[in-house]
Structure 1
Amino acid sequence: MKKILYILLITVITIMSCENDLIKEPAFISEISVFEKEELTEAYLANVYENMPFMNMTGQSQNGLGIISAVGMEYTNFAVWQEPNKAQNRIYSQAGGAGELNYWPYGSIRDINYILEGIVNSKSFDQSYINAKIAEAKFLRAFMYFEMVKRFGGVPLVTKVLDKDAPNEEMFPTRNTEKEVYDFIYSELNEAIALFTDEKKGADGRADKYAALALQSRAMLYAASIAKFSQVQLDGVVGIPSGDAQGYYQKSYDASQALMSAGFSLYNKSSDKVKNYGDLFIDEGNSELIFVEKFESITRGHDFDLLATPQGYDSSWNANFQVFYDFVEKFEFQDGSPNIPRSQLTTANTWDMDQFFGKKDPRFRASVFYPETVYRDKPVYFHSKTTYTDGGVVKTSTNPNQIIDYNGKLWQGAAFPRNIKTTSLLLRKRIDPTRLAPKDGGRESGQDYYVFRYGEILLNHAEAAFYLNKSGEALTNINLIRERAGMPLRTEVTEDNIRLEREFELCFEDHRFWDLIRWRIATTVLDGVRTQGLKFEYNLDTDRYTITLTNASFVEPNVRTFGTERYYLPLSQGLISDNVNLVQNPGYN
């Protein structure tokens, strides 16, 4: 069936092409035909799904997978030229626009508008099918507007297909206020929720009632944060009045509450907390999943394993996602021990790896490769050299191809160079160790991308509850997350530990950057930072490491910049030239 839909999809795209993103051209097949055959309708809608911004698959071998984590200072990509690093290092301006972070999907919005206008006139479909497609279309349109509003603030709300002869005020619309866009998203999702049945389809990659509630939970929490922490500018084109914060928190809370009564649950199949959290992201169709983007190896696969697998495991292009120590040092120890201060990371101190990393939060251990992490039945190495005594002589090896036999213990002289190029820590989360090692691309990976999962909903609910003066409920949900992770329960809930819990639980899932934006703390967290990695040197005689900090920045002057203007991305010169009614965001004129 998939092959039939893709063939039909190509046909529909060809015959329904448009002159530009907003204007509808006459079709070679009548509009009636598209909405009289389910195959054509499904193919048309499948094209919209295919173009949705769920998982970023841009760049060579899809290295754009790392964009949001790179700009959020979770990890960096292997090379300066890769999309994530270009997104981080670029100078944002009207001339350059939003670059790799840009999203302006009015072509897809036109396609949704076309579906909504056309399907209601169908003579062949029954009302239940029409309602189902309208609900899906409204969810997808709401998602697109959410992705735009969190980047740019207010954007034009275009809710109908425009004819060539439409008046100028429709052809060249002004930007709606940020509040109007969020209110549209809320109402659009309410309409979708009312039309969806109770059937769960999200784990199969189709929008349903619960995906709409999850988007409502997330989007309204964002709107509440903008109202609480930002300032209104440009007559409301950016910013939301502070008096609206509580109302948006309530809307987010209500959507989360509805999901908490819908039969979803935290994934908890293994008593081994590290294994359990790692398996969550490769055990597809589990009880935690609300909505995913579906992938199948080869037929509709991706290159995640090719890019993420450490060097030394037969992946031809490997070790791309190099995790910053700045991010992972905040993960807590399971036994409540204090985190190790940076002042102790000197050559005067030595560390056992179990002492340094091996007793940290299981979510960290399941998400990051660090020295001696066992992967595919052998350790991953991150040390730059090994010192050992051989026949009374102290020797040093920096050779990754040397295997030292030390009283029967076999040890690699040094790590492979890509593993230690920048930070000596690598992304592990979402890698599937049961798959064959990727060698030369070809989209071997088939892990689904989790757009919404229940863990996020509990955190959304906790945050909204906290600001609605329901601290008891917030604490309960934070502790549900921590209990699943095997971490000590909190005795009180604060703004800081709610935010930290999101960083720990949702790490590397494309949340942190947007959270720092909506809380308006990105200028504090990201600006003026010289990012750090670690340098490991191993002593075979003592079975201990010296661990020191190393500069992980790519570009001079090796310090990140994030000014207040970056809370909104710039509209490009091309957009403004095409529509003189679009006002630029503050700080980019």
Structure 2
Amino acid sequence: MKHHIIIAIALIFSMSSCEDFLDTSLDTNQTNETLATDRGSIWAFANAFYSPIHYGYSAIDGNIFASASDEAQQASAASNVIYFNKGMVNTNVNPLSYFYTNCYEGIRAANYFLDYVADGKGKALLELNRNLVTDAENYKRDLLSLDWYIAEAHIARAYYYAELIKMYGGMPIVEQTMSQNDRQMISRSSYDECVEYIVKEIDTWKDKLAKDWNNYADREGRFTLGAALAIKSRVLLYAASPLHNPTGDNVKWMRAAQAANEFLANSDIHYELDSSYENYFNGETSLTSPETIYLVRRAASNSLEQANYPIATPGGKSGVCPTENLVSQYEYIGEPDPSNPYANRDPRLAASVVVNGSLWNGRTISQAPGETDDMANANASPTGYYLKKFLTDGLNLIQGQTAQHNWVAFRYAEILLNYAEAMNEAFGPMNAPDGYVMSAKDALQKVRDRASVSLPAVDVSSIEAFRQAVKHERQIELAFEDHRYWDLLRWNDAMTILNQPVKGVKINKSGEVYSYSVVDVASRVFYERNYYLPLLRSEIENSNGTLEQNPKY
């Protein structure tokens, strides 16, 4: 027990530097004795397993992960994303290896909390040194919280394993508190075994979760029923996808459809699309939006703007620059304008990407030779585009102005797209068997109509045609939200898409008229082995042969 307490304290200290909704710190003056007799330690341990949850705005190079896919190109050549762009991720260098460590830290923290309160120990601590008559209301609230937090610890384990198998395939399943070295001595379970473990954790504990935190504002940031069902939906969608379902087993697609339908049909949870796609990602909007299922918040900052404002904006570094590969996919909702290729397009383009001629940071972006944002300038966008989604316009970086940035891990639009994809594969685009809330086409249309009711009609002539419509919609609706790379992998499309060059536009100007030509910006390399990330060599060596490396590394 003493050994486990030391491990848990060290873990919580290591995670307390990340500001979130929850206080993940622990009093450094506590001893083993006071720790075991202070009910406040229950809440500290119940918070600790949230700290490693992925904050996508700092995924790689202190920025979002989009440049690892065909969505974007990093302006700086000195970036870790190059290991993904050139297929160079290996057993010694994996820029996402920190997340592997974080996931197992989260799992270990969840396991420790569950051990700490097991067998009535948690309830006994809540009763200790307390008048259960005069303090009855607070005691009742604490008991309710304890029950919720136990369920949340199980959902946390499901979440972390979902992230691990997305990156690495089947992983060791650990359900006891142990040191990291002990954990490395456990062999890997198969991908399907991990999926079943995740689903069992969620199905067993989902009904013991809070439905929302409307009456407990201090609990915001904790898992709810909606979050648990969203994790299940994503996991089963991935499990049904070609990478993990090479035979096209329709039972897996039906199971994924059922999981998304379970979310959409559940009368205990209430979500809907936000009225504004553009505003949803700005500032604090997502905190109270009915679209948000689960998000991660940090203290207000300007690091995202520093990383991605145009280099010509004081304090900006250009950073993640959207590609023509992405921009070209935004559909026209009117006649094309020969003098302005960005006019009359899906409004999500203007909400997500800064193009030439955009009003941004208090000025008009002008990228032709000799102009303020000349693409020939050092560290200017190599693609002719800058990131807009998630960023607050016009922050004064020199004076340290900041804004809120909430990383939305799960939102309602994703569930609709999960549903559309799985329903199409299981039943076709137009069919909705009894018990299902809508057809695949209806779910997709909801997402498109929120963007614009003027978007072209979707092809529902076949499963294959609608499959392409779903892939397109995920590319647009979920742009830059850390879906594209993993979608390409699970669809088995990465060998095709991620071996193509990323493109941009070369911008010129004659008089007052701009002209645009599409150019290759950078080559990309993706090998078959890259469908899974490698475990670091040190992990394999420290396991004494227990862990097997992913193939071809």
Is the pair's TM-score, using the shorter chain for normalization, greater than 0.5? yes
Query: Alignment partner for residue 508 of structure 2, among 531, 537, 541?
Result: 537
Which of residues 375, 389, 396 in structure 2 aligns to 1:437? 396
Name the structure 2 match of 1:64. Answer: 62
Matches within 5 A, 1:392-403: 398=370, 400=372
Query: 2: distance between equivalents of 1:535 and 1:97?
Result: 33
| Change over 3 Å in CA distance of 1:259–1:218 after alignment to 2 | farther
Deviations 1:60-106 (A, max 9, x none): xxx3322x211112112221222333443351333445656852432
Provide the rounded CA distance (Å) in 2 between the counterparts of 1:77 and 1:439. 23
Contact kept? 2:529, 2:552, Cα under 8 Å: yes
Alpha-carbon offset, residue 399 of structure 1: 5.1
**Alpha carbons of 1:496 and 1:200: their partners in 2 closer, same or farther (altered >3 Å)?**
farther
Q: TM-score, normalised by structure 2?
A: 0.81
Aligned-pair distance for 1:454? 0.8
Q: 2:366 aligns with which of 359, 372, 381?
A: 381
Residue in 1 that maps onto 2:534: 570
Deviation by residue 1:404-432 (Cα, 9 ceiling, x = unmatched): xxxxxxxx9x5683574411111111111
Unaligned ranges ≥5, structure 2 = 15-27, 127-141, 431-438
Q: Deviations over 1:242-299 (max 9, x none)?
A: 475235324433333246873211111xxxxxxx3211111231111111111331xx
Q: Where do 1:7-406 residues align within 5 Å?
A: 13-14=9-10, 34=35, 37=38, 39-57=40-58, 63-66=61-64, 68-89=65-86, 91-97=88-94, 103-104=100-101, 105-120=103-118, 121-122=121-122, 123-125=124-126, 126-162=142-178, 172-200=185-213, 204-226=220-242, 229-230=245-246, 242=249, 245-258=252-265, 262-268=269-275, 276-282=276-282, 283-284=285-286, 285-297=288-300, 301=301, 303-314=303-314, 316-335=315-334, 351-353=338-340, 356-383=341-368, 385=369, 398=370, 400=372
Task: Specify the alignment match of 2:518 in structure 1.
Answer: 549
- Look up the SS of the partner of 1:533 in the other structure: strand
Give secondary structure in 1 for the equivalent of 2:269: coil
**Structure 1 match to 2:472:** 500
Letter in 2 for 1:13: I
Aligned-residue offset at 1:135: 1.8
Aligned positions of 1:445-484 closer than 5 A: 445-472=403-430, 473-484=439-450
Would the alpha carbon gap of residues 429 and 446 (structure 1) be closer, same or farther in structure 2, given more than 3 Å must change? same
Structure 1 pair 421/228, CA: closer, same or farther in 2 (3 Å)? closer
8 Å CA contact 2:384–2:505 kept in 1: the answer is yes
**How far 1:108 sits from its partner (Å)?**
2.7
Say if 1:379 and 1:199 are closer, same or farther in 2 by CA, change over 3 A: same
Alignment deviations for residues 169-209 of structure 1 (CA, whole Å, 9 cap, x no partner)? x7611100100111111111223312112224799322211
The CA deviation at 1:312 is 3.7
Shift of 1:17: 7.9
Tell me the SS of whatever aligns to 1:175: coil
- Sequence identity (%): 23
Q: Is the 8 A contact 1:64 1:84 kept in 2?
A: no
Query: Residue 76 of structure 1 aligns to which amino acid in structure 2?
Result: Q
Change (3 A) 1:431 1:418: farther
The 1:564/1:382 distance shift into structure 2, 3 A limit, reads same
- Rate the CA distance shift 1:478–1:215 in 2: closer, same or farther, 3 A: same
Matches of 2:33 and 2:150 in 1, distance apart?
Answer: 16
Give the Cα separation in 2 of the matches to 1:508 and 1:277: 14
Query: Counterpart of 1:357 in structure 2: which amino acid?
Result: Y
Q: Is the 8 A contact 1:536 1:548 kept in 2?
A: yes
**8 A contact 1:266–1:287 mirrored in 2:** yes
Deviation at 1:111, TM superposition (A): 1.4
Cα distance in 2, alignment partners of residues 317 and 79 from structure 1: 12
Tell me how far 1:31 sits from its aligned partner.
6.5
Asked whether the 8 Å contact 1:333–1:361 carries over to 2, the reply is yes
Residue aligning to 1:428: 388
Structure 1 stretches of at least 4 aligned residues deviating more than 6 Å after TM superposition:
9-12, 15-18
Structure 1 residues 35 and 466: alpha-carbon distance in aligned structure 2, compared to 1, 3 A threshold:
farther
Secondary structure class of the residue paired with 1:536: strand
How far apart are 1:505 and its partner, in Å? 0.5
RMSD value, Cα: 3.3
SS at match of 1:143: helix
1:24 corresponds to: none
Question: Does the 8 A contact of 1:423 with 1:552 survive in 2?
Answer: yes
In 1, Cα distance between equivalents of 2:35 and 2:254:
41
**SS where residue 81 of structure 2 aligns?**
helix
CA distance in structure 1 between the aligned counterparts of 2:342 and 2:383, rounded to whole angstroms: 15
SS at match of 2:62: helix
CA distance in 2, matches of 1:368, 1:58: 20
Does the 8 Å contact 1:290/1:454 carry over to 2? yes
SS in 2 for 1:149: helix
Contact 1:252 1:464 in 2 (8 A): no
Count how many residue pairs are aligned between Structure 1 and Structure 2.
496
> Which amino acid in 1 is paired with 2:45?
Y
AA of the residue aligned to 2:516: I
Deviation at 1:12, TM superposition (A): 7.1
Specify which of 491, 503, 506 is matched with residue 519 of structure 1: 491
**Aligned position for 1:347:** none
Cα deviation for residue 451 of structure 1 reads: 0.8
Label 1:204 to 1:379 Cα distance change in 2 as closer, same or farther (>3 A). farther
Cα distance in 2 for residues equivalent to 1:482 and 1:302: 31
User: Residues 64 and 471 (structure 1 numbering): CA distance in 2 closer, same or farther, change over 3 Å?
Assistant: same
Distance 2:162 2:97 in 1: 17
Task: Return closer, same or farther for 1:244/1:336 CA change in 2, 3 Å cut-off.
Answer: farther
- Does the C-alpha gap of structure 1 residues 521 and 260 become closer, same or farther in structure 2, counting only changes over 3 Å? farther
- 1:450 counterpart letter in structure 2: V
Q: 1:127 to 1:31 in 2, by over 3 A?
A: farther
Q: For residue 499 of structure 1, give the secondary structure of its aligned residue in structure 2.
A: helix
Distance in 2 separating the partners of 1:35 and 1:243? 51
Aligned residue for 2:549?
584
Q: Residues 296-331 of structure 1, C-alpha deviation per residue, up to 9 Å, x if partnerless?
A: 31xxx46111112223433x1331111111222121
**Separation in 2, partners of 1:39, 1:32:** 13
Question: Which structure 1 segments of 5+ residues have no match?
Answer: 1-8, 19-26, 232-240, 269-275, 341-350, 386-397, 401-411, 554-558
Distance in 2, matches of 1:184 and 1:35, equals 31
Distance in 1 between the 2:117 and 2:470 partners?
Answer: 44
Q: Which amino acid aligns with 1:245?
A: K
